Amino acid sequence: MKRLFCEHNIRISNELSGAWRFLTDPNEVGETEGWQNGLPTGDTVIVPSVWNNELRLLNYEGAGWYEKKFTTTGGTLRFEFGSVMTLADIWLDGEKVFNHYGAFTQFDFILNNIEAGEHTLIVRADNRQNEKSIPQKRVDWFNYGGIARDVYFDELNGICVLQNHVKYTLSEDLKVATIFSDLVLYNASDKSCASNVTIAVGENEIYNGEVSLSAYETMTLKTPEAEIPVELWSVESPKLYTVVAKTETDDLIDRIGFRLIETKNCKVYLNKKEVEFRGVNRHEEHPEWGFAFPAKLMKRDIDMILDLGCNTIRGSHYPQSQIFVDMLDERGIMFWSEIPIWGCGFSEAVLQDPDVVERGMTMHREMVKYYFNHPSIVIWGMHNEVWTPWACVYDITKKYHDFLRSEGGNRLITHATLCPNDDPCFEFDDIISINQYHGWYYGGFDTWDRVVNELRERRIKLGMADKPVIYSEFGAGALAGYHVPFDSVRWSEEYQRDILKYTIELFHKDPMVVGFYIWQFTNIRTSPTMDLNRVRCFNNKGIVDEYRNPKLAYYTVRDLYNRYKGEENA
């Protein structure tokens, strides 16, 4: 299941999730021994999943081969993979057909002239990271391997809709949308074809036209603007509209919501109402499932996050499952989506390596391509904790910023920095986002007052006093069950609770600060080689443990966030 709703009524879309054959390849003999034609042996595994939850593969980094047989009526097929960690090489009937880089972004490809009958699909996944990979080797989560999200193949006929990005502006009273679509159409047949194309948003048809394309031609089409009355998507009332783009032989169904997010005079407004971001950072990870996170648990994470009084989540540090973002659309939770550039381990030389910059760019392109229509995504994150004072980072940030801005859609852009005093890239941010760990890695609780004031003064000196600030990461590690009630002792649940209370109260009363994302919602598994005191090989800063049992901090955050929510709605 890749979406919460049915994406096609006309197109035949086949799920390839379920039983696959699987074989690890620690000695890298697969290709020379011809495994691309079919695996010589192999266990049955369930896709989607990660192999690090199979027996004796807990720490396995390397290649894993997967095989799936399927039948088709033939013709033009479109394959879609939600996530292969991290490198994917793909063969169909022994012929190499695709390769993809990047664990967390979706990809698809089209193959023509496929014969009717049975076929063998082989995927070689490789989860090894190095200093030039994104994410690079030193990273604060565990690099699981495998086919971690669903796999589909579609049987395409005639003129098909490959993509429909719906763009709009709202009237001053927010009641009317001026709307158009950026459509990508494709002729899947070996002859020229013509077709009627329609797009409907709810009850309103916004486009009706004729196109003709030669064999296997792709066409991008910007439809003329139409005006429709709309109800808004908001945190309190997340109204969604179904969008159906249809040709005579194909369709693509998606959902959109209409809303306006903007910053003005150091405040953020959603639909012209001032909003405070009260959130958590969430990794889509669980010890039993790794990154192949089940939809049932996504819903439970959301239930808990709403119970906390949050109105937003930062998807640290990569695009999270489409189905999770569908749930956020439905439940009115604002989302920050970013790509996995986790900066701390990058050297300056590697960061500016054109291959690395381009990999980041490709991930941004893929994130925008698949996630464009989600109303819940109100923030695009460009990168996290790269050493921004290095000269090259300015150019890279500009490049990513310019791309995200040029794609349109009404979103705020930011990057999470750990250099509030010398970051030269604030000019690219709609909101300045700061990651800091005073009271944990450095300083004490009271250092916070000083550093918040330093940032205030720096913004004024830079002529950016209008830019709002989000504290995008702050917190402390706590070992679940370790209690020291009468003294202040690191790693205790009380210490974590106290530092979160201190910082959240400080941020909430500061007029410069428009939001805060606790690091982090749950404990997560990290790399066994991670430095930085990762007790049990987990990052223990979750306010719930890795099995979602609340620590003391959970209840304190819940009191604070729900009180602030009440004040906002009073």
Return the SS3 of 88.
strand
Single-letter amino acid code for the residue at 289: W
Nearer to ligand ADA, 219 or 419 (CB): 419
- State how far the Cα of 151 lies from the Cα of 309, in Å rounded to an integer: 35
Nearer to ligand ADA, 254 or 385 (CB): 385
Q: Which of 416, 338, 348 is nearest to 377 (CA)?
A: 338
Nearer to ligand ADA, 158 or 319 (CB): 319
In the 8-state DSSP scheme, what is residue 236? S
Nearer to ligand ADA, 31 or 131 (CB): 131
Where does residue 93 fall: left (phi above 0), alpha (psi -120 to 50 degrees), or beta otherwise?
A: left
| Inter-residue contact 517 to 507 (CB < 8 Å) | no
Site residues (vs ligand ADA, CB under 6 A): 140, 316-317, 384-385, 435, 473, 519, 539, 541
- State how far the Cα of 368 lies from the Cα of 165, in Å rounded to an integer: 10
Nearer to ligand ADA, 400 or 519 (CB): 519
Which segments of 271-400 are extended strands (E)? 273-274, 277-281, 312-315, 334-338, 377-384
- State how far the Cα of 189 lies from the Cα of 215, in Å rounded to an integer: 6
User: Angle at the Cα of 467 (from 466 to 470), degrees rounded to 5?
Assistant: 140
Task: Count how many residues are written for the chain.
Answer: 570
Return the SS3 of 278.
strand
Nearer to ligand ADA, 290 or 409 (CB): 290
* Bridge partners, residue 126, by sequence: 63, 87
In the 8-state DSSP scheme, what is residue 225? P
| Burial readout 173-185 (b: 16 or more C-beta within 10 A, e: otherwise) | eeebbebbbbbbb
Q: How far is the CB of 472 from ligand ADA (least distance, A)?
A: 8
Nearer to ligand ADA, 135 or 257 (CB): 135
Q: How far is the CB of 317 from ligand ADA (least distance, A)?
A: 6
Nearer to ligand ADA, 496 or 539 (CB): 539
CA–CA distances in Å: residue 103 to residues 127, 317, 354, 381: 8, 12, 20, 17
Q: How far is the CB of 381 from ligand ADA (least distance, A)?
A: 11
Which segments of 138-217 are extended strands (E)? 146-147, 151-156, 159-170, 176-187, 193-201, 204-213
- State how far the Cα of 225 lies from the Cα of 178, in Å rounded to an integer: 6
Q: How far is the CB of 214 from ligand ADA (least distance, A)?
A: 49
Nearer to ligand ADA, 216 or 445 (CB): 445
Q: How far is the CB of 380 from ligand ADA (least distance, A)?
A: 17
Residues 6+ apart with CB under 8 A from 531: none
Nearer to ligand ADA, 46 or 535 (CB): 535
Q: How far is the CB of 296 from ligand ADA (least distance, A)?
A: 26
User: Angle at the Cα of 225 (from 377 to 240), degrees rounded to 5?
Assistant: 35
* Bridge partners, residue 261, by sequence: 270
**What's the helix, strand, coil split of the chain in %, to 5?**
20, 35, 40
Q: Which residue is nearest to ligand ADA (CB)?
A: 140
Q: How far is the CB of 345 from ligand ADA (least distance, A)?
A: 11
| Inter-residue contact 38 to 120 (CB < 8 Å) | yes
Nearer to ligand ADA, 187 or 539 (CB): 539
Q: How far is the CB of 480 from ligand ADA (least distance, A)?
A: 16
- State how far the Cα of 136 lies from the Cα of 130, in Å rounded to an integer: 5
Nearer to ligand ADA, 142 or 258 (CB): 142
Q: How far is the CB of 294 from ligand ADA (least distance, A)?
A: 23
Nearer to ligand ADA, 284 or 473 (CB): 473
Phi then psi dihedrals of residue 437, to 5 deg: -130, 50
Q: What are the tokens at 273?
A: 């109402």
| Inter-residue contact 387 to 424 (CB < 8 Å) | no
Q: How far is the CB of 340 from ligand ADA (least distance, A)?
A: 10
Q: Which of 215, 154, 210, 155 is nearest to 189 (CA)?
A: 215
In the 8-state DSSP scheme, what is residue 427? G
- State how far the Cα of 339 lies from the Cα of 125, in Å rounded to an integer: 20
| Helices (runs of H) and strands (runs of E) counted in the chain | 8, 33
Nearer to ligand ADA, 260 or 344 (CB): 344
